[in-house]
Amino acid sequence: MKIGVLGGGQLGRMLALEGVRLGQEFVFFDPAPDACAGQLGRHICADYDDEAALTEFAEAVDLITLDFENVPTAATDFLSAFKPVRPGSQALRMAQDRLTEKTFFSDLQIPCPLFSPASDWQQLQASCREIGYPCVIKTRRMGYDGKGQAVVHNDDELAKAWETLKDNDLIVEAFVEFKRELSIIGVRSVSGSTAFYPLTENRHKNGILITSFAPAVADDVRDEAQRYAGKILDSLEYCGVLALELFDMGGRLMANEMAPRVHNSGHWTLDGAVTSQFENHLRAVMDWPLGSTNAIGATAMMNWIGAMPDPANALSYPNARWHDYGKKPRAGRKVGHVNICADNILALQAELGKFAMALGEQLKSSGADAFLR
Residues at the interface with ligand AMP (CB under 6 A): 113, 136, 143, 146, 173, 175-176, 181, 204, 207, 245, 256-257
In the complex with ligand AMP, the residue whose CB is nearer, 203 or 354, is: 203
Pick between residue 180 and residue 321 the one whose CB is nearest to ligand AMP.
180
Cα 197 from Cα 185, distance rounded (Å): 6
Least distance in Å: CB of 259 to ligand AMP? Answer: 9
Residues making up the chain, counted from first to last: 373
The DSSP string of 313-334 is: HHTTSTTEEEEE------TT-E
Burial 105-131 (b: 16+ CB within 10 A, else e): beeeebebbbbbbbeeeeebbebbeeb
Classify 360 as helix, strand or coil: coil
CB of 191 to ligand AMP, least distance (A): 31
CB 114 → ligand AMP: shortest distance, Å?
9
Enumerate helices (H) and strands (E) in the chain, giving the number of each: 13, 17
Q: Tell me whether residue 50 or residue 145 sits nearer to ligand AMP (CB atom).
A: 145
Q: Which is nearer to ligand AMP, 181 or 271 (CB)?
A: 181
Angle (CA) 352 354 359, round 5°: 95
Q: Specify the residue, 101 or 279, whose C-beta has the smaller distance to ligand AMP.
A: 101
CB of 19 to ligand AMP, least distance (A): 28
Q: Output the CA–CA distances (angstroms, integers) from residue 166 to 11, 69, 148, 183, 301, in the order listed.
A: 32, 23, 11, 31, 36
Nearest distance from C-beta of residue 247 to ligand AMP, angstroms: 7
d(CA 302, CA 214): 12
Radius of gyration for the chain, computed over Cα atoms and rounded to the nearest angstrom = 20
Residue among 2 and 203 whose Cβ is closer to ligand AMP: 203
**Sign of the torsion angle spanned by Cα atoms 111, 117, 121, 123:** negative
Q: Smallest distance, Å, CB 298 to ligand AMP?
A: 22
- Least distance (Å) from ligand AMP to the CB of residue 38? 27
Residue nearest to ligand AMP (CB): 176
**Closer CB to ligand AMP, 200 or 275, in the complex:** 200
CA gap 8, 40 in Å, rounded? 10
Strands 253-259 and 240-248: antiparallel
CB of 116 to ligand AMP, least distance (A): 12
Closer of 171 and 286 to ligand AMP (Cβ):
171
